[in-house]
């Protein structure tokens, strides 16, 4: 069966953060509601699906993945924890936990009651070089949605191998520093006061030239441990 490709927006220089946040939210909602996904796994009660991507990352052969599973905890409590520094470490165990304690690179005004901020995170995978992400994090508490996506930011020069520098940003600082790219999203849907359906999206390329099957193999197994780690933490 052929699976239609899912468009993944590439990096942009943040000149209008609220507009890019709206694009991020539209992309995440499209991915959550689109069809023609390939079932990868149902292990541990977590459904994992994959789809090829279109756009600037298409030629990599790395799939975008999404998951759905139940967490035995209150949905708002679950969401509040996931968008805390401790929760970020649950979502990305290879990231440096200390990075999540630092102030954001920049904060922006957006929707009332929502958070929008640029942040820096580093990742260290065993036997691989350290990699840095610069992301825009958009958080909507009332809808319990969090989306994080790689961006380019003037306060932190650098870009992934996928970005074609324009004339405005041809300085060595941006062209010589290579980054990993990531698109991540989560949504906590209420099943009951004590039960949450957690939906996740992830696309990542560490920018180290590994074969796509390696990324896809790892990403298939990325989600289930998140649900397990989260339940364990919320029970403490």
Q: What is the pLDDT of residues 115-166, one digit of tens each?
A: 999 998 877 665 566 778 899 999 999 999 999 999 988 888 877 777 755 5
What are the structure tokens assigned to 48, written together?
Answer: 């994992």
Q: What is the pLDDT of residues 32-63, one digit of tens each?
A: 999 999 999 998 889 999 999 999 899 889 99
Q: Which residue has the higher pLDDT, 76 or 93?
A: 76
Is 139 part of a structural domain of the chain? Answer: yes
Residue 138 confidence (pLDDT):
98
Total count of residues recorded for the chain: 236
> What is the layout of strands, in order, in the sheet containing 38-41?
38-41, 47-51, 64-71, 195-205, 181-192, 145-150, 131-140, 115-123, 106-107
Is 4 part of a structural domain of the chain? Answer: no
**Number of domains forming the structure of the chain:** 1
Is 2 part of a structural domain of the chain? Answer: no
Kindly report the backbone phi and psi dihedral angles of residue 139, in degrees, each rounded to the nearest multiple of 5, phi listed first: -130, 125
Is 32 part of a structural domain of the chain? Answer: yes
Contact by Cβ (8 Å): 66, 38: no
Is 94 part of a structural domain of the chain? Answer: yes
Sign of dihedral through CA atoms 27, 213, 181, 46?
A: positive
Domain residues for the domain of 116 are 9-235
Is 85 part of a structural domain of the chain? Answer: yes
Is 1 part of a structural domain of the chain? Answer: no
Residue 1 confidence (pLDDT):
46
pTM value is 0.88
Q: 167 pLDDT band (50/70/90 cuts)?
A: very low
Residue 177 confidence (pLDDT):
60
Residue whose C-alpha is closest to residue 105's, from 151, 168, 159, 63: 151
Is 223 part of a structural domain of the chain? Answer: yes
Stretch (H or E) spanning 150: strand 145-150
What are the structure tokens assigned to 40, written together?
Answer: 């990868």
CATH number of residue 126's parent domain: 3.30.530.20
């Amino acid at each position: 069966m052929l699976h239609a490709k899912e468009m993944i927006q590439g990096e942009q220089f943040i000149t209008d953060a609220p507009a890019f946040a709206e694009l991020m939210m539209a992309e995440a909602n499209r991915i959550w509601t689109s069809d023609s996904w390939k079932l990868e796994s149902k292990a541990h009660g977590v459904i994992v699906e994959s789809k090829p991507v279109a756009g600037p990352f298409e030629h990599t052969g790395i799939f975008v993945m999404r998951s759905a599973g139940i967490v035995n905890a209150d949905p708002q409590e679950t969401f509040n924890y996931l968008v805390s520094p401790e929760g970020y470490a649950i979502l990305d165990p290879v990231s440096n936990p200390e990075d999540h304690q630092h102030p954001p690179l920049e904060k922006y005004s957006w929707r009332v009651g929502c958070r929008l901020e640029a942040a820096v995170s580093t990742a260290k995978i065993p036997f691989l070089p350290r990699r840095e992400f610069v992301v825009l994090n958009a958080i909507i508490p009332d809808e319990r949605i969090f989306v994080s996506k790689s961006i380019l930011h003037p306060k932190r020069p650098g870009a992934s191998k996928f970005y074609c520098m324009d004339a405005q940003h041809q300085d060595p600082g941006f062209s010589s520093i290579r980054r990993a790219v990531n698109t991540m999203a989560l949504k906590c849907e209420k099943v009951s006061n004590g039960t949450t359906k957690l939906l996740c999206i992830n696309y990542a390329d560490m920018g180290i030239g590994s074969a796509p099957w390696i990324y896809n193999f790892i990403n298939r197994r990325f989600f289930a441990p998140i649900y397990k780690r989260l339940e364990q933490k919320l029970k403490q």
